[in-house]
Structure 1
Amino acid sequence: MTKPLVSVIVPVFDGRDTVGRALESVFAQTLPAEEVEVIVVDDGSTDGTSELLDELARTRDGLDVVHQPNSGGSGAPRNRGLERASGRFVFFLDADDRLGPEALERMTATAERNGTDIVLGKQVGTGGRKVPKVFGRTIERTHVLDPDCDLFPRMSMASLQLFRRSLIERAGLRFTEGVLSHEDQLFTAGAYLNAAGVSVLADYDCYFWDARADGTSSTQLGGAPPAEVHAIAGQAMALVAEHTEPGETREKLLYRYLLLEVFVLLEQRYLDSTGEERDTLLKGCRELLENWLTPTLLERYGPRHRVLGDCLTHGLDEELAEILRFHRSGRRPAIHLENGRAFLEYPCFRDSAAAIPDACYESGAVLALRHDLLGVAWEDDGLVITGNVLLGDVYEGTLVLDLVLEDESGGLHRVSCEARPAARADEGLAAAYTATVVPGQVSLPDGRWTFRVEAAIEGHILSAPVTKPRGMALPHAALAETETGWRLVRPLPPRGRGPLVLDVGGALTTADLRDVEVGLDADGRLRVSCEPPPA
């Protein structure tokens, strides 16, 4: 008997309402039916799932149903499925999810074409499920140990992918049994580290990943306890270390584990835990940091997680709780600017008792300068620009503002702004300004000059484009006497929203004329009168 191309393994526990739909998505695949083997392992269901599966097996060729006592997680039923699988490839499908009709055909073709051992097909979240942002483009062949591959830190470790069965057997891969979550961490990590190559199929919706509406999946209910999570994470990190040398590649792969199983786990569980549970959580987090956190790996994390890491490694439990409470509150930390550096003011910043290093709070994030244009008008021989700026999340310091004009060749002209002292607003430092551009004095070469506002504060230089809002009327063109003669100077755009531009030396158009009157004089001749651009 010819062996199937792909074995689809479906673990199920009390999935009567969803498993039929999942299986129908397999039966509807565009691959010939004889090339698809379906193995469903019922993990001690009590809701009628067992009977439903037996009935389906009687009417469906290629459907193998296995019953076993409940094992406490998806690991054991997946392993039983692997023992019975005979396909060249194996795909793991959860009983509440489904496949796109061409998924298996496209993924197996991708693997065969590229000689890759794993194909990560595009996953689509349904019911509020979030999926990893790794499907921006199709990647024919890569490997997580390649210097330019960023897949491992960003992907999910869920095994809902296509694997070449020879890889699974060669590397001795199996799922962790008896845990409510993280059962596929070691399997998937081992597969990616041992694979000859990996493909990402991003141009077809392969897998529809559902979040149960009743919130009863094991991960939705909280998953495995921290001690089990940390034990698995420690083994996974050791596996990474076996396949890498100390340095950038190893740290790039280890990053995900400390992020998710230390910092995020603390944010999710610490404040709601008490007593022994809290002690166990802290113990596991500290052990992972002691074993795997290096100074250069710490630098890869954002300020909040660096601060949490310092609290963990130095036994600052009260400070740890304070920072976690701040994060849970949803408040944004203020930004402290000093000598060209920026620090996020999470709790205990420069608290002498805690002595958490400034480097933990330092942020490389781009500061946000917001600009609102309020008015543009000719006054005497100058174009007067008025507006407001807001430096978000910064509440201390002195803003020095310039209006900068830049032409298409990169030429610059700077005009100092008259600004009222910055005031502390709800969102940060706010300042109103006025700047006057006198074309006759600055001798701007002909061309189009785009405006932006530049702000200097505590060693930082920030800029924001000056954008004309929709509905704002701009003044007409004016004539300016320059060193090279008279020039027409016109603010743009006349209509709609867009960057504020000063057009110097352009041709006169009818739009530049005001108070145009057309009529016949006493002799019947056409007479046109208008107000020319002001000088």
Structure 2
Amino acid sequence: MEVAMSSSSTAGIPAVPGDPDGTKALAGAEALAGTKAPAGAEAPDVTVVVAVREDGRPRLGRCLASLAGQTIGAARIEVLVTGGPPQSPPDGAGPAPSHAPHAPPHDQPWASSGAARSPSPADLGAVGRTDTANQALERVRGRYLFFLDAADLLGREALARLVHAADSKGHDVVYAKTAASGAAVFARTRHRVPLGEPGLAWELSAAKLFRREPLLRHGLRFAEDVPVGLAEQAFTLEALFRARRVAVLADYDYRFAGGAATGPVRRSGPEARNSPAALAAAAAEPGGLEGLLRGTAAAMAVTARFTGPGPLGDGFRLRHFAHECDVLTGPAFLKAPEPERRRVFAGVRRLVADHLGDAVLAGLRPGLRLRFSYVRAGDQAGLVSVLRYEAGHGAPPLRTDLVSADWRRTGAARRTLVVTARTPLPHLGALGTGPVRLTGCPEAGRVLLRPASGGAGTEIEVRIPAEAFPAGRTRIGLSTALLGTEHTAAVAPGTAPRQAHALRGLRPYRLDVSPDGGDGLVVAVLPVGLPVGLPVGLRRTERA
């Protein structure tokens, strides 16, 4: 198929008269509903499924006109207008591009050069109407499917270019660049893209070209009990995993995400559904948090079905833990009613147990690793404590400070080294003493954890009997290890050496503890009255 390519994707995007509530466009679609190709006619090249949501109704006419003006020819397009993907609360998932995609200004002359008139929805040869995207999947005739929101527009050559790329290279799924998208996956055009390609997992909306045959052969459908954006993710994930070949086309502005016809550009369409703000807003609605959990679990289940342990699956799992699970364990969780909190916490804990491995952990920001530490431990109160700290101060720093080290009398001639430390991590005691680790003499130390006095955080106390230290010099340290994160306690500046005396058997010993100049302490156990031949340097060091 020969395709003539122009340099401007906005050329020929038609302007149509205003339709404030979408009534005219919807009426036109209804009038054409059920229109069928003549008997014996070839199947259209592409079926475009146009989802009509409230924000898209006023701009449906412009969307249909942009389809009528496609250079592939209206006769090669089938259009199915749906009432939107399956019913659900406001929704979304996926990273926002660096700046909002947008439609060209409404007063730009979009008509084709030399055209007698701008295309209109009436120029489309086959338009049908269904209630849902799943009903549309049962009726499609095109060799390819492209999903579009009614608020969006297509560049004039979009469908011709997409179909040509799929036909010439054998692609089953084609990513198409949205105007002004800053997504990393659209840095350049690639064919036969491996699924592990960086950025691919972060663009999972259904605004792509799909080959119809594998979709129908494998019975792909949109989940009807999860938010729209998550239903799109699960659908797109399965299509990707079943695809023979995948392409990313970044050489053209294929789609213009819907914006208001006048005034400042606002985001809409898949980009809006997939933005962090949309996720958070949806989660804050009644039942929204549980809807997000169901959708995230459904998407992760698809990845688990098609990938085993390793980098491929981890790339997709990282996307879900870094984005959807961030919202699931974020401020919306803190504001949810307690019964909903319990259900969501249990659901996220299952996701963590089933899908969160070390490689995924390493890719998460420290604050999320901390949250998932409490989730994995089954400590809902601890997660709430972390979120309350975040609300007032930001994410708790992964830091532990050694506050003091001194010898405490525990008998007539016995001493115990007591080391105290403090971390801003709240509710650490609920995780048990496992997160606190000693180096130097770990088998002898006893660790006590308690809420910090006078503010958020946890106080750590370590008690080590003097008898546990061998004669001579021993370096000891303390670290706090949580899920995927370990940090060494730092000695506070100005910490003074401390000294005491004790007996070992009948022989008196001097006990010293002092900073080692780094992140640890030096404990020196020396007999009183050192032999004359002891090196001067050792004398000096052990008395420091």
Question: Structure 2-normalised TM-score?
Answer: 0.55
Q: Residues 434-466 of structure 1, C-alpha deviation per residue, up to 9 Å, x if partnerless?
A: xxxxxxxxxxxxxxxxxxxxxxx969xxxxxxx
Which residue matches 1:262? 325
* Match of residue 2 from structure 1: 42
> What is the alpha-carbon distance in structure 2 between the residues aligned to residue 192 and residue 163 of structure 1?
9
Q: Distance in 1 between matches of 2:149 and 2:201?
A: 23
Aligned CA RMSD, in angstroms, stands at 3.7
Q: Which residue of 2 aligns with 1:159?
A: 206
Given that residues 7 and 39 in structure 1 are in contact (C-alpha distance below 8 angstroms), is that contact kept between their aligned partners in structure 2? yes
1:142 alignment counterpart: 193
Aligned to 2:282: 222
Alignment of 1:443-454 (within 5 A): none
Q: Secondary structure in 1 aligned to 2:210?
A: strand
- Secondary structure at the residue paired with 2:129? strand
CA apart distance, 1:43? 5.6
Structure 1 residue 187: deviation in Å?
A: 0.9
Q: Is the 8 A contact 2:367 2:395 kept in 1?
A: no
Alpha-carbon separation, structure 2, partners of 1:135 and 1:364: 36
Residues in 2 aligned to 1:397 and 1:138: alpha-carbon distance in whole angstroms: 55
1:18 aligns with 2:59: yes
Distance 2:178 2:267 in 1: 21
2:344 — aligned with what? 281
Distance (Å, rounded) in 2 between the aligned partners of 1:114 and 1:275? 53
Structure scoring higher RCO (CA < 8 A, sep ≥ 6) equals: 2
Residue identity opposite 1:40 in structure 2 = V
Q: 2:252 aligns with which of 186, 201, 204?
A: 204
Alignment-mate amino acid for residue 253 of structure 2: D
Within the candidate set 293, 302, 305, 1:239 is matched to 302
What are the residue-to-residue correspondences of 1:300-449 with 2, within 5 Å? 300-329=363-392, 331=394, 336=399, 347-348=424-425, 351=428, 354=431, 356=435, 358-360=480-482
Paired AA for residue 150 in structure 1: P
Report the equivalent of 2:168. Answer: 113
Match of 2:243 in 1: 195
Corresponding residue for residue 34 of structure 2: none
Contact 2:48 2:148 in 1 (8 A): yes
Residue 218 of structure 1: CA displacement?
A: 7.0
Contact 2:47 2:79 survives alignment (8 Å): yes
Distance 2:491 2:192 in 1: 49
Structure 1 position 86 matched with structure 2 position 141: yes
Once the two structures are TM-superposed, the CA of residue 305 in structure 1 deviates from its matched residue by 1.2
Considering fraction of residues, name the structure with more strand.
Answer: 1
Contact 2:238-2:302 within 8 A present in 1 as well: yes
The Cα of 1:336 is off from its aligned counterpart by 4.9
Say which is worse superposed, 302-311 or 233-242, in terms of deviation: 233-242
Q: Counterparts in 2 of 1:428-507, with a 5 A limit?
A: none
CA distance 1:83–1:134, shift in 2 (3 Å):
same
Q: CA deviation at 1:58?
A: 8.4
| 1:331 to 1:34, Cα distance in 2 relative to 1, 3 A | same
Q: Which is helix-richer, 1 or 2?
A: 2
Q: TM-score, normalised by structure 1?
A: 0.56
2:309 partner letter: P
Alpha-carbon spacing, 1:218–1:308, altered in 2? closer, same or farther (3 Å): same
Contact 1:39 1:65 in 2 (8 A): yes
Could you tell me how far 1:118 is from its partner in structure 2? 0.7
CA contact (8 A) 1:42 1:65 kept: no
Q: For 1:350 and 1:321, locate their aligned partners in 2 and report how far apart those are by CA, in whole Å.
A: 9
**In 2 relative to 1, CA 19–327 (structure 1 residues): closer, same or farther, beyond 3 Å?**
farther
The aligned amino acid for 1:136 is A
Contact 1:10 1:94 in 2 (8 A): yes
Q: How far off is 1:359 after superposition?
A: 4.1
Distance 1:329 1:297, change over 3 A: same
Once the 2 structures are TM-superposed, how far is the Cα of residue 272 of structure 1 from its aligned partner? Answer: 2.0
Aligned pair count reads: 341
Q: Deviations over 1:308-356 (max 9, x none)?
A: 1111111332331232234445747557599xxxxxx984179555454
Cα distance in 1 for partners of 2:42, 2:491 equals 72
Question: What displacement does 1:239 show?
Answer: 2.5
Q: Can you give the 5+ residue segments of structure 1 that lack an aligned partner in the other structure?
A: 45-55, 69-76, 339-344, 366-393, 399-456, 460-535
CA distance in 2, matches of 1:395, 1:121: 54
SS in 1 for 2:176: strand
Is residue 382–residue 430 contact of structure 2 (8 Å, CA) maintained in 1? Answer: no
- Counterparts of 2:427 and 2:336 in 1: how far apart (Å)? 28
**TM-superposed deviation, 1:267:** 1.6
Q: Which amino acid is the alignment partner of residue 64 of structure 2?
A: L
- Is the counterpart of residue 37 in structure 1 residue 78 in structure 2? yes
Q: Please list the CA deviations of residues 102-128 of structure 1 after superposition, one character each: whole Å capped at 9, or x if unmatched.
A: 211222222222211111011236xxx
Q: Deviations over 1:195-215 (max 9, x none)?
A: 001101112111222467598
| 1:111 partner letter | A
